[in-house]
Chains A and B, each alone.
Chain A
Amino acid sequence: MMIAEMVKDREGAEKRCLEAYEKAKQLQEKYNDVITFVDPTEQLKNLPEEGLMRGVPIALKDNVSTKGILTTAGSRILSNYVPVFDAKIVTKLKEAGAVVIAKASMDELAMGGTNKTCFTGASLNPWDTSRMTGGSSGGSAALVASGVVPMAIGSDTGDSVRKPASFCGIVGVKPTYGRISRYGIIPYSSSLDHVGYFTRSIKDACVALKVLAGRDDRDMTSSFREVPDYSALLNSDLHGRKIAVFGNVRDGLTNANTAKLFDDLMESLKAKGAEITVFRFDEALMKAMLPTYYLIANCEATSNHSNLDGIRFGVREPGDSMEEIMTNSRTKGFGPLIRKRFVIGSYGLFEENQERLFRKAQKVRRLIVQQLNECLKDADCLIAPASNDIAPLLNDDSRDQLSDEYLVVENHMVIGNFSGYPSMTVPMGFENGCPLGINLTCRAFDEETMFDIGRAIEEITGYENLTAEVK
C-alpha cells in the first residue's frame, strides 16, 4: 500500500502500525534488521488529526536520536545511551502522524558499507539471506524491502542510503545538503553527512521529503528555501530532459548483465523523449575520489566522535583517573574498523600532515565538484549504475577494507556527498533474483527533476512497490 492510501485509510491506522510492529519482530530472527523495537501503542493514542503520514508505520536508523528510547548508532560504546532529546526529523515525522516501530540496525557509527559492523551483528538481505543488505543504513533498507514499513530513515555520508537501496531493490533518496535538518542525527562526517530515506516508490519519496525537509534553526547548515509540493509537481514526461551518462562508471562495468540492463534503460529513456549524452570526468580525479572521501570523512569523524569518552553518557569502563577512564572506554567501546579510521583521521589532521592530507583532500573535493558542475550545466541529471554487481555475499571480506585498488564503479556515488547535490537510487533490474539499482544525481535543490526522471524509470521498469519474497 502506498503512503497516500494508508493516510486515507484512517480507521486502519492502529491495526496497520501494530501489524508492522509484529511483523518486524517476526522477521527479526531471519534478518536481524532491528536494534530496538518501539511499541507504537502510545504514539497511536497521540496521533494528530491530519498529517501527510498519519498512521504510517516507519523505522528510524539507530543514529536518529529519540527521546527516552535507546539510540546506539550501532556501537557498543553507545549501547546504553538514551537521548534526552528528539532529532528534528523525529519531531517532524510525529507532527505528520508517522508512527515509529523500530530503530534499525546500521554499521557502527554509520562507517561502513556492509552493515556487518553493527554491535548486534549483520543484518541480512531479504532477497537472499546469504547476502549483505549493504550499509551503513542496512537495517532500514531491509525493513522497507521486506514490506514491514513503507518508509525508513537512513543517513548517507558516502552512499549509505543509496547503496543499500540498490542491494535491496527499493528507492533510496539523499536530498540536497541542508534540505533536511541533521539536528539530532549522530554524525559521521559533518560536511558529508545527509539525512536520507528509503521508500518503495517515487510517489512515496515525494510525500516523505515534503514531511522531512525545511529549515531548522538548530542546524545552521539547513536551508531557508521553501519546500515544494513534490507530489503535485511530479511529472514523468522526459521530452526536453537531458541525461548525462557517467562515462567513467559505464566504462568501468565488468558485469555484462549490469551493462546490458543499464544500456537498455538508456535506450528506453531515449525512446521516452530524453536526450542522452555521455560525460567523462578527469580520470585522475576519479582515482582520487575514494582517498579524498576517506580522508575528509575520517578526519571529521575522529573529531566528531571525541565526545564518546564514557564520561557523560555511554558505556564507561573503569580506570584510575579520568584519562584512564576515557582511554579504556574508547578502546573497548569501538570495533577495530572504527579505531582504524580514527587513527587515520587523527593522522590526517596533525599539524605537520594537515596541509598535504586533509586540506588537500578538500581541494580535490572542490575540483571534482567543479567537474560535476560542468556536467550539470548542460545536463539535468548524471546517471550511472549504483554498483557493478548485486549485493555481495556475507562472507565477502573485500568490502570496507582500505585498499589502494581503484574502484570507481563501486564508489562513484560519493560525488553526491562531495557536492551536496540531490542523488537517488531506484531499482534497475535483477540478477539471480537479487536487485540492482541505478543512481541519479541532479542540481542543488532540484529534487523535483530527480523525482521526475526517477518516476519515468519506474514507469519503464515497472519496479514500483517491490517487496522481497518473505519466505
Chain B
Amino acid sequence: MEYDVTIGIEIHCELKTVTKMFSGAPCTFGRKANTCTNEIDLGHPGAMPCVNKDAVARAIEACTALHLTIDPLVKFDRKNYYYSDLPKGFQITQQFHPIGRNGYVVIDTAEGEKKIRINRIHMEEDTAKQFHLTTKTLLDYNRAGTPLIEIVSEPDMTSGEEAQKYVEALRQTLYYIGVSDVRMEEGSMRCDVNVSIKPKGSDVFGTKNEIKNLNSISNIGKAVDFEVERQKQILESGGKVEQETRRFDEKSGETVLMRRKEGNVDYKFFPEPNIFPIRLDANWIRSIQESMPELPDARKERYTRDYGLSEHDIGILIANKELSEFFEEVMKHTQNAKSACNWLLSDVSGWLNRNEKTIENCDLKPENLAKLIAMIDSGKISSKQAKELLNDLMEGKDPEAVAKEKGMEQVSDTGALEKMIEDVLDANPQAIADFAAGKDRAVGFLVGQVMKASRGKANPGLVNKMIGEALKKRI
C-alpha cells in the first residue's frame, strides 16, 4: 500500500543576546553551573520579569527573514506546569499572540522549489538544565531564562529529506542574520519533529508521533525515515499507531518510546499579569529590519549576477557564511571569481580542515590569495608551484616574496625557452618522428623534457605552445 507522509517541525532556537529574556543575568554557554543566574531566573518570590528589548529585536529579525507578519502588540502568557527544571512553576511564553505569523522558507526538492509554510514564531524563556545521576538530580540554572524563539511549521513536509532541508534552510537563515548560534549539538537549536502517515489520497490524518532529541540535521532525515517505516509496518500488520513522544537513538538509528499521550496536559495558559501589552513603535521595527544583514537568498542572487559562478559553487560557498564573506574580500583584489572560489572551496578549505582551523581564525589574508591568483594568471608561477605556496599563504605570508625566496619564478622568457626547446628536440629525433606519424602524446613527452631541463621553472603553457610551433617547422 502507498502512503502519504505528513511532517511538521517545531524548532526552539536560543537567541543571541547579552542578557536573558526577562532578567539582567548574562546568557552564556559552558560556564560553571549556577553562576549566570539571579533571583528572577531562579523564580525567587517577589522577583518580576522585565522584557529584554534586544530579544524582541532578534525575534523581529527572525520573523522578517522568514517572511512572517509581525504583530506590533507584544503580549506574553503563562504556561503553568510543575517540573523541577521550571523555576517559577510556569514558563512565560506567547501562547495567544505570537510575535510573528504566516511565513515560509523555500527548499529545493527533486521536483523543484517547494515552499514550506511557517505557522508562527513566538518568544519564550528556556528552562534549567537537568543532570540525572543514579541517586540524585543536579540542576544548572544558567540556561534558565535564556531567550528562545519557537518556530512552528505547517505540516508541509513529506519526507525525511524535505524535513532535513527545511531545518537546514532555517538554520542557515538564522545564522546569516546572526540571531542565534543555531548549534544543534550544543542545544542552541532544538528540533521536535511530528510525523504521521495515512493511506495515499485519504483525507483523514494519521496519528502523529513526536520525535525529540535530534541533535544533528542528518539525524532528522534518519529519524523521519525510520519513523515512517515503523508506522508503515504497524499499519500493514493491521495495528494502530499510538500517539507517542519518541526519542531518536543515535547508535541504533531508531526512534524509541519516551512517553504516551502527552496531549492531555492542561497548561492553564493565561495572560502574564506582570507584563502589560507592549506596543512596538513602527519606526523601531523598520529600523531593525533595514539594518539586517544580507540573507542567503539575496546573496545567492548577487553572486550569480556579479560573479557568474555556477549554482553549485555558489551553493557551497554561501553555505559557509564566513567563507563567503572572505570570498568577497578576495574579490576586492581580483577579477577572477572562478579561481578565487575554487581556491577557497578546495585548497584553502582542505588546509583548514587538516589544521582544524576556520577561515576566521586563520592568518590567510584576502589580498595575498588574490595576489597568488594573479601570479598564476600572468604565468609567473605554475598552478603546481602555487599549491606548494599554500602553507606559506595560510600562514599569512606574501606569496610573491615567498616565491622569489624559493626561486620559483617561472621561465617565461621566450628566448631562453627557445634555446631549451631546440636542445631537447635535437636530442629526441624519435619523438619528432612519432609526432610526424600522428602520435600526439609525443608532445607531452617533449614538454616534460623541457620542464625537466628547466628544473620545473618553465612556464608549461608557453612551452606547450612553443613546442607545437617548433615541431611544425621540423616536419
Annotate B135-179 by CB proximity to A: 1 below 8 A, 0 otherwise.
001010000000000000000000000000000000000000000
Annotate A273-316 by CB proximity to B: 1 below 8 A, 0 otherwise.
00000000000000000000000000110110111110111000
| Contact assessment for B48 and A218 in the assembled complex, using a CB-CB cutoff below 8 Å | yes
Question: Shortest CB–CB separation between residue A219 and chain B, in angstroms?
Answer: 5
| Contact assessment for A351 and B275 in the assembled complex, using a CB-CB cutoff below 8 Å | no
- Taking CB atoms, residues of chain B closer than 8 Å to A183 are 46-48
| Contact assessment for A322 and B39 in the assembled complex, using a CB-CB cutoff below 8 Å | no
CA distance A325 to B47 in the complex (A): 23
Annotate A72-88 by CB proximity to B: 1 below 8 A, 0 otherwise.
01000010010111010
| Contact assessment for B88 and A307 in the assembled complex, using a CB-CB cutoff below 8 Å | yes
| Contact assessment for A303 and B46 in the assembled complex, using a CB-CB cutoff below 8 Å | no
Question: Shortest CB–CB separation between residue A298 and chain B, in angstroms?
Answer: 12
CA distance A351 to B96 in the complex (A): 13
| Contact assessment for A190 and B46 in the assembled complex, using a CB-CB cutoff below 8 Å | no
Among the 9-residue stretches B78-86, B186-194, B304-312, the one with 4 or more Cβ atoms under 8 Å from chain A is B78-86
**Known contacts A85-B44, A312-B43, A220 near B276 by CB under 8 Å:** yes
| Contact assessment for A78 and B45 in the assembled complex, using a CB-CB cutoff below 8 Å | yes
| Contact assessment for B268 and A83 in the assembled complex, using a CB-CB cutoff below 8 Å | no
- Taking CB atoms, residues of chain B closer than 8 Å to A182 are 46, 48
| Contact assessment for B273 and A349 in the assembled complex, using a CB-CB cutoff below 8 Å | no
Task: Tell me the A206-265 residues at the B interface (CB within 8 Å).
Answer: 217-221
Task: Pick from A306, A313, A326 the residue with the most CB of B within 10 Å.
Answer: A306
Closest-by-CB residue of A relative to B83 is: A322
Annotate A49-68 by CB proximity to B: 1 below 8 A, 0 otherwise.
00000000000000101000
B89 within 8 A of A: yes
CA distance A220 to B53 in the complex (A): 12
Annotate B345-385 by CB proximity to A: 1 below 8 A, 0 otherwise.
00000000000000000000000000000000000000000
A196 within 8 A of B: no
| Contact assessment for B82 and A306 in the assembled complex, using a CB-CB cutoff below 8 Å | yes
Annotate B61-93 by CB proximity to A: 1 below 8 A, 0 otherwise.
000000000000000001010101001111000
Question: Shortest CB–CB separation between residue A177 and chain B, in angstroms?
Answer: 11
Question: Shortest CB–CB separation between residue A413 and chain B, in angstroms?
Answer: 20
B134 within 8 A of A: no
Taking a contact as CB atoms closer than 8 A, the residue among B42, B44, B49, B266 that contacts A220 in the complex is: B49
Task: Tell me the A295-348 residues at the B interface (CB within 8 Å).
Answer: 299-300, 302-303, 305-309, 311-313, 322-323, 326, 346
CA distance A313 to B44 in the complex (A): 8
- Taking CB atoms, residues of chain B closer than 8 Å to A65 are 44-46
Taking a contact as CB atoms closer than 8 A, the residue among A73, A217, A311 that contacts B84 in the complex is: A311
Annotate A170-182 by CB proximity to B: 1 below 8 A, 0 otherwise.
0000000000001
| Contact assessment for A306 and B46 in the assembled complex, using a CB-CB cutoff below 8 Å | no
B257 within 8 A of A: no
| Contact assessment for A217 and B50 in the assembled complex, using a CB-CB cutoff below 8 Å | yes
Closest-by-CB residue of B relative to A84 is: B39
Q: Total interface residues on A, using CB and 8 Å?
A: 45
Main secondary structure of the interface of A (DSSP, over half): loop
| Contact assessment for B88 and A306 in the assembled complex, using a CB-CB cutoff below 8 Å | yes
- Taking CB atoms, residues of chain A closer than 8 Å to B42 are 312-313
Closest-by-CB residue of B relative to A359 is: B270
| Contact assessment for B268 and A326 in the assembled complex, using a CB-CB cutoff below 8 Å | no
- Taking CB atoms, residues of chain A closer than 8 Å to B269 are 351
CA distance A197 to B89 in the complex (A): 30
A165 within 8 A of B: no
- Taking CB atoms, residues of chain A closer than 8 Å to B274 are 190, 219-221
A427 within 8 A of B: no
**Known contacts A306-B82, A349-B80, A354-B270, A187 near B51 by CB under 8 Å:** no
CA distance A265 to B268 in the complex (A): 48
| Contact assessment for A186 and B273 in the assembled complex, using a CB-CB cutoff below 8 Å | no
Task: Tell me the A341-374 residues at the B interface (CB within 8 Å).
Answer: 346, 349-351, 354, 358
Question: Shortest CB–CB separation between residue A319 and chain B, in angstroms?
Answer: 11
CA distance A346 to B43 in the complex (A): 20
**Known contacts A322-B137, A326-B82, A221 near B46 by CB under 8 Å:** no
Question: Shortest CB–CB separation between residue B244 and chain A, in angstroms?
Answer: 21
A191 within 8 A of B: yes
CA distance A63 to B80 in the complex (A): 23
A184 within 8 A of B: yes
- Taking CB atoms, residues of chain A closer than 8 Å to B80 are 302-303, 306, 349
CA distance A255 to B302 in the complex (A): 85
CA distance A326 to B43 in the complex (A): 15
CA distance A331 to B51 in the complex (A): 33
| Contact assessment for A303 and B87 in the assembled complex, using a CB-CB cutoff below 8 Å | no
A185 within 8 A of B: yes
| Contact assessment for A299 and B48 in the assembled complex, using a CB-CB cutoff below 8 Å | no
- Taking CB atoms, residues of chain A closer than 8 Å to B84 are 309, 311, 322-323, 326
CA distance A326 to B139 in the complex (A): 15
Annotate B257-296 by CB proximity to A: 1 below 8 A, 0 otherwise.
0000000001011100111100000000000000000000
CA distance A218 to B47 in the complex (A): 9
Question: Shortest CB–CB separation between residue A111 and chain B, in angstroms?
Answer: 14
CA distance A73 to B45 in the complex (A): 10
Closest 10 CB pairs of A and B: A306-B89, A190-B273, A349-B268, A307-B43, A322-B84, A186-B45, A191-B273, A184-B46, A65-B46, A186-B46
10 pairs from A and B in contact (CB 8 Å cutoff): A83-B45, A189-B273, A190-B273, A220-B275, A221-B274, A300-B273, A312-B43, A322-B137, A326-B82, A326-B84
Using a CB–CB cutoff of 8 Å, the interface residues on chain A facing chain B are: 63, 65, 71, 73, 78, 81, 83-85, 87, 182-187, 189-191, 217-221, 299-300, 302-303, 305-309, 311-313, 322-323, 326, 346, 349-351, 354, 358
